């Protein structure tokens, strides 16, 4: 029960926005910053405090913008740098902070650095990338990140102009930067300074695990792998003490603690300070939350929380259910993966890369409102900072006829007007088609209808966001699992000095009454979220849970 520092991101709700799919303001079919500005009041009403913007930089856009060709600009499809600054100011006026993606593991092959590197072996840019005339076989586990996709599959690609192979862990059009070249590190520091000076609150660090790997495969692990992100954080913090680095690191749980600022790298005979990460995207927990939902058992959540390292003071987890990539089950045992696939993606077409599911939250849970609320309540109750993926607050679905991960990246559904109110362009010109068929079509699932309906999912999520803000212990105190005699119920609590907050979630769809041994025994409990009677009994609080029920309660001075 460690008390933690009081930092803004520990009591924030983060919302992930893909600018190109959010709101188009000029009728060209692509979302833009003016469109996003016009929707800030919506986000403010919802109560989110922080937006994470997926890459919006100039890009050939062959990997949803994760192929950057200019780190200092805005892709003309989304507007201008001036529009971006106006957006930052408008967000700031509403108290909304902004994180931007830092894609520093690789560039686009169209980046001028790579173009110079290819044609001129003597150029300073040659050593910005990783070359070989005789590439080694990749080590096990270090093959392509996107097995089976065109443009991926291998990690070395021959460039006829350069007369050599270049290294890339993602697609062949995303050459890895040589992050062990001090000149490259200097470039990245400049990029970080640039966006911080404009006013962003921090960065979501793309592919952090790959960034800290040895970039000359075969040379073994670098002496001090976390130095890079540690230095980057120190640099970023010179611009402001509350700058946050949120990293994508889908690593083995035994290594995750290393990434945190204040963490420790301790392997074999080597011991070094840890990394520079304030918040770490919690992929491991995510897979286990879905395993619990699929099996109707609480055990997987308990196991995940017991396995994950406790973050050092000031650091924490960014928890999520779905994002714009696949739901990655790779860290579950094979038999467990099968259980999740069978329940949530019985159609092989909904699976991807042999490790994931390319569906959104609501359809995964059959659009079942009780289970969607259960999943969201569980997410918001997990230790750390909750992160919502745009559209999940209204229960949007996916379009499996779109290729690969694009299935979950369809435009935001604002209303039942043409193109879901996303754009006035002809449907054929939209960046991606809107979902216009079936139970998740924009005519049935949209913001306008849901705001008008007090019983809607959107109104529930707004309430959930508010409740999470009123429960800051979730981001600052280590949780304790509370034992119950029901294997389908996961219960946990956060014990603060004056009060205890406890939660219970039922996964099997069966009504249950559980007794939670929490809080001072003479205090009467106060319900915070969910329905059902609460009774003070000798050993604690008795809680009635309906099928897929959830309950948050406060015991103590609250
Ligand atoms: C991770 C991102 O989440 C994914 O969408 C992208 O394709 C890769 N990094 C490459 O940048």
In this prediction, residue 429 carries a pLDDT of 98
Question: Distance (Å, rounded) from C-alpha 549 to C-alpha 512?
Answer: 9
The residues lining ligand 1, judged by C-beta closer than 6 Å to any ligand atom, are 63, 66, 103, 170, 206-207, 248, 325
CA of 206 from ligand 1 middle (Å) equals: 7
Half-sphere exposure of 88 (CA within 13 A, CB side): 16
Distances in Å between the Cα of 171 and the Cα atoms of 146, 151, 433, 453 are 8, 5, 24, 44
Q: What is the dihedral of CA 450, 92, 376, 354, to 10 degrees?
A: 110
pLDDT at residue 2 greater than cutoff 60: no
Q: Which atom of ligand 1 is nearest to the CA of 63?
A: 7
Residue nearest to atom 3 of ligand 1 (CA): 325
The best mutation among 54, 60, 65, 66 to test binding of ligand 1, ranked by most ligand atoms within 8 Å of the C-beta, falls on 66
Pairing of strands 131-132, 164-167: antiparallel
Task: Give the model's confidence band at 3: pLDDT under 50 very low, under 70 low, under 90 confident, else very high.
Answer: very low
Least confident of 81-85, 195-199, 220-224, 500-504: 220-224
pLDDT at residue 445 greater than cutoff 90: yes
In this prediction, residue 219 carries a pLDDT of 62
In this prediction, residue 499 carries a pLDDT of 81
Pairing of strands 526-529, 550-556: antiparallel
Q: Which atom of ligand 1 is nearest to the CA of 106?
A: 11
Q: Is the Cα dihedral 233, 237, 239, 242 positive or negative?
A: positive
Half-sphere exposure of 464 (CA within 13 A, CB side): 24
pLDDT tens digit sequence for 546-557: 999 999 999 986
pLDDT tens digit sequence for 90-120: 999 999 999 999 999 999 999 999 999 999 9
Residue nearest to atom 6 of ligand 1 (CA): 66
Task: Give the model's confidence band at 399: pLDDT under 50 very low, under 70 low, under 90 confident, else very high.
Answer: very high
Q: Which atom of ligand 1 is nearest to the CA of 405?
A: 5
**Number of residues that this document lists for the chain:** 558
**What 3-state class would DSSP assign to 53?**
strand
Residue nearest to atom 10 of ligand 1 (CA): 66
pLDDT at residue 266 greater than cutoff 90: no
Question: What proportion of the chain, given as a percentage, has pLDDT over 70?
Answer: 98
Task: Give the model's confidence band at 1: pLDDT under 50 very low, under 70 low, under 90 confident, else very high.
Answer: very low
CA of 66 from ligand 1 middle (Å) equals: 6
CA of 306 from ligand 1 middle (Å) equals: 28
Q: Which atom of ligand 1 is nearest to the CA of 66?
A: 11
pLDDT tens digit sequence for 127-155: 999 999 999 888 778 888 988 887 777 89
Question: Distance (Å, rounded) from C-alpha 281 to C-alpha 109?
Answer: 27
Contact 11, 473 (CB under 8 A): no
pLDDT tens digit sequence for 154-198: 899 999 999 999 999 999 999 999 999 999 999 999 999 999 999
Which residue segments constitute the domains of the chain, with CATH numbers given? 112-167 (3.90.400.10), 480-556 (2.60.40.1180)
Residue nearest to atom 2 of ligand 1 (CA): 206
Catalytic residue IDs: 206, 248
Question: Distance (Å, rounded) from C-alpha 322 to C-alpha 64?
Answer: 17
**Tokens describing residue 394:** 């209204």
Question: Distance (Å, rounded) from C-alpha 285 to C-alpha 379?
Answer: 10
Which helix (DSSP H) or strand (DSSP E) does residue 294 occupy?
helix 283-295
CA of 17 from ligand 1 middle (Å) equals: 15
- Kindly report the average pLDDT of the chain as a whole number: 95
CA of 400 from ligand 1 middle (Å) equals: 19
Task: Give the model's confidence band at 220: pLDDT under 50 very low, under 70 low, under 90 confident, else very high.
Answer: low
pLDDT tens digit sequence for 428-442: 999 999 999 999 999
Contact 323, 16 (CB under 8 A): yes
In this prediction, residue 475 carries a pLDDT of 87
Choose among 432, 363, 367, 370: nearest CA to 398.
363
Choose among 212, 111, 120: nearest CA to 163.
120
In this prediction, residue 557 carries a pLDDT of 61
pLDDT tens digit sequence for 7-53: 999 999 999 999 999 999 999 999 999 999 999 999 999 999 999 99
pLDDT tens digit sequence for 306-359: 999 999 999 999 999 999 999 999 999 999 999 999 999 999 999 999 999 999
């Amino acid at each position: 029960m460690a008390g933690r520092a009081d930092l803004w991101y520990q009591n924030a709700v983060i919302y992930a926005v893909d600018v190109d799919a959010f709101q188009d303001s000029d009728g060209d079919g692509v979302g833009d910053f003016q469109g996003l500005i016009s929707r800030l009041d919506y986000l403010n009403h919802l109560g989110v405090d922080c937006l994470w913007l997926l890459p919006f930089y100039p890009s050939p856009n062959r990997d949803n913008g994760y192929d950057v060709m200019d780190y200092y600009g805005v892709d003309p499809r989304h507007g201008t740098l001036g529009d971006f600054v106006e957006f930052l100011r408008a967000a700031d006026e509403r108290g909304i902070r902004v994180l931007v993606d830092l894609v520093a593991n690789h560039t686009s092959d169209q980046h001028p650095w790579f173009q110079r590197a290819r044609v001129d072996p003597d150029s300073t840019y040659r050593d910005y990338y990783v070359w070989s005339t005789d590439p080694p076989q990749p080590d096990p586990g270090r093959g392509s990140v996107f097995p089976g996709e065109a443009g991926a599959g291998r990690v070395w690609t021959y460039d006829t102009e350069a007369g050599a192979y270049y290294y890339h862990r993602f697609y062949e059009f995303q050459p890895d930067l040589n992050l062990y070249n001090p000149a490259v590190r200097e470039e990245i520091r400049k990029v970080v300074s640039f966006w911080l000076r404009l006013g962003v609150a921090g960065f979501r660090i793309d592919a952090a695990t790959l960034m800290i790997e040895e970039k000359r495969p075969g040379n073994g692990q670098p002496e001090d792998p976390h130095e890079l992100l540690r230095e980057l954080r120190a640099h970023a913090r010179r611009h402001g003490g509350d700058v946050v680095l949120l990293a994508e690191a889908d690593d083995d749980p035994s290594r995750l603690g290393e990434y945190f600022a204040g963490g420790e790298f301790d392997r074999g005979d080597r011991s070094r300070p840890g990394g520079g990460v304030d918040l770490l995207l919690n992929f491991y927990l995510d897979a286990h939350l879905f395993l619990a939902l699929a099996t109707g058992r609480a055990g997987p959540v308990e196991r995940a929380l017991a396995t994950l390292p406790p973050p050092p003071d000031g650091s924490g987890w960014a928890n999520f259910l779905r994002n714009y990539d696949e739901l990655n089950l790779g860290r579950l045992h094979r038999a467990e993966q099968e259980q999740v696939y069978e329940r949530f993606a019985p159609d092989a077409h909904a699976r991807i890369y042999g490790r994931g599911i390319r569906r959104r939250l609501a359809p995964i849970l059959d659009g079942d409102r009780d289970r969607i609320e259960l999943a969201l309540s569980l997410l918001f109750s997990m230790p750390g900072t909750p992160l919502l993926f745009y559209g999940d607050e209204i229960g949007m679905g996916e379009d499996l006829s779109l290729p690969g991960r694009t299935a979950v990246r369809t435009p935001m559904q604002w209303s039942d007007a043409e193109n879901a109110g996303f754009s006035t362009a002809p449907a054929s010109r939209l960046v991606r088609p809107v979902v216009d068929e079936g139970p998740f079509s924009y005519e049935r699932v949209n913001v306008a209808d849901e705001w008008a309906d007090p019983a809607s999912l959107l109104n529930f999520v707004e309430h959930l966001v508010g409740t999470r803000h009123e429960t800051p212990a979730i981001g600052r105190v280590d949780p304790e699992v509370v034992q119950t005699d029901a294997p389908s119920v996961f219960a946990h609590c956060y014990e603060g000095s004056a009060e205890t907050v406890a939660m219970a979630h039922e996964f099997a769809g069966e009504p249950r009454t559980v007794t939670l041994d929490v809080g001072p025994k003479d205090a009467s409990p106060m319900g915070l979220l969910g329905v059902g009677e609460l009774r003070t009994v000798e050993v604690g609080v008795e809680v009635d849970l309906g099928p897929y029920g959830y309950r948050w309660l406060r015991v103590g001075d609250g």
